[in-house]
Amino acid sequence: MRAVGVTAAGLAVLAAGCGCGSGRPAAVPPSPGRGAAAARYLAIASEGNRHLEADFDRLDGRDRARLDAARADLRDAAATERLFDRRLAALALPPETRTLAARLVAANEARADLTATAAGVPTLAGLRADERRLTAANAPVETQVRAIRGSLGLPPPETG
């Protein structure tokens, strides 16, 4: 189960569409309208990240050998991913960012579907087997996160 937890921890930083503020200056100074949209984006991403980090810390720690608890962590992570998507879709965004947000929502929804599917597997071995698919689902989300952050004048998300 540890392998799933480690993979899922990578999801936590990305799933909420995030990399929520690195303390580095913005790559492109935000315009006043774009700055407000960036602040709203960071607010929902930060909240989602905190929640996902808690889920995946449990999944990687105390719940790694407890099937029912691990499945609950994954169900909660999928619900958090979907909540972020609904909040992102409802944000007032500049037109050029709206398309990017829709792409991020689509990529994140696909990953949330995989996370929810993993939550339904009947064994810890089954969870480990889903690790590769969960990891692969990160790449499209990462791509869209970088694009939306760039469009909002935010620095790229931190990795590692």
pLDDT at 76 over 90: yes
pLDDT (tens digit, 9 = 90+) per residue, 12-56? Answer: 333 334 433 333 333 444 454 678 899 999 999 999 989 989 988
Mean pLDDT, the chain, rounded, equals 81
Does residue 69 contact residue 58 with C-beta atoms inside 8 Å? yes
Assess contact for 55 and 80: CB atoms under 8 A.
yes
* Residue 29 and residue 57 in contact, taking contact as beta carbons nearer than 8 Å: no
Choose the weakest-confidence range: 23-37, 93-107, 117-131.
23-37
